[in-house]
Amino acid sequence: MKFFIDTANLDEIKEAASLGILDGVTTNPSLMAKVGISGREQILEHYKKICEIVPGDVSAEVISTDFNGMIQEAEELASLAPNIVVKIPMIKEGLKAIKYLNEKGIKTNCTLIFSPGQALLAAKAGATYVSPFIGRLDDISTDGMQLIADIRLIFDNYGFPTEILAASIRHPMHIIESARIGADVVTTPLKPLLALLNHPLTDKGLAKFLEDYNKANR
């Protein structure tokens, strides 16, 4: 299972990378805005900085919604660094763009996936990744994990090479359940990732080991 960090915050990306278990990064226009990055030039520079920190796949999202605009942006983004993956929204024009970019050898991440049918279309068009949004489905009282399970079943039925990138992660159990179902990748904010480290018995056990060592080595 690959671990991606879902942020445009360079400090958080560096912290996750320092753990030695980071495989990539996902961003979106909201995450870029959150860290105060705006304007085409600044955005492109920021992607370059992220790609210098993390050698794995870095998703950079287009903001065009028409085929020609998406292709133009995708080619510009892909030229920034060899590890850029172009994030394309799951709309009709996006589907055509994924097909085109796949034929050109440019990796894509089809974003805003909320149904198995959308994932199937993206896989058929040759998307490198599909990003089902678990948390946003949970937010509207729909089972986000069931979507991951449905896509896993469909992709395995036909041997689609498209990787399932579980996105919109809210808490550590989303990561565990994604792993249980067999998502290929999980993209998570730093907090749920770090939360995986925690167990009170680990803290208690370590404190006792150190206490016993210190008593014996006074």
* Phi, psi for residue 77 in degrees, rounded to 5: -65, -45
Q: Are 6 and 170 in contact (CB under 8 A)?
A: no
Verify binding: residue 6, ligand E4P, rule CB under 6 A: yes
Verify binding: residue 26, ligand E4P, rule CB under 6 A: yes
Verify binding: residue 145, ligand E4P, rule CB under 6 A: no
Spell out where the chain has E strands.
Answer: 2-6, 24-26, 57-61, 84-89, 108-113, 129-132, 163-166, 185-188
End-to-end CA distance of the chain: 44
Verify binding: residue 178, ligand E4P, rule CB under 6 A: no
- Cα–Cα distance for residue pair 185/128, rounded to 1 Å: 12
Residues 65-124 that bind ligand E4P (CB under 6 A): 111
- Closest distance of CB 67 from ligand E4P, Å: 22
Closer by beta carbon to ligand E4P, 57 or else 150: 57
Verify binding: residue 187, ligand E4P, rule CB under 6 A: yes
Which one of residues 136, 138, 173, 196 is an interface residue with ligand E4P (CB under 6 A)?
A: 136
Verify binding: residue 129, ligand E4P, rule CB under 6 A: no
Extract the tokens encoding 191: 């907090």
**Residue 87 among the catalytic residues:** yes
* Helix axes 92-103 and 116-125, enclosed angle (nearest 10): 30
- Closest distance of CB 59 from ligand E4P, Å: 6
| 3-state secondary structure (DSSP) of residue 129 | strand
Extract the tokens encoding 69: 């605009």
Verify binding: residue 162, ligand E4P, rule CB under 6 A: no
- Residue 132, beta-bridge partner list: 113
Closer by beta carbon to ligand E4P, 162 or else 187: 187
Which one of residues 7, 28, 162, 178 is an interface residue with ligand E4P (CB under 6 A)?
A: 28
* Phi, psi for residue 62 in degrees, rounded to 5: -80, 155
Catalytic residue among 87, 92, 104, 191: 87
Residues with catalytic annotation?
Answer: 87
Binding site for ligand E4P (CB under 6 A): 6, 26, 28, 111, 131, 133, 135-136, 167-168, 187
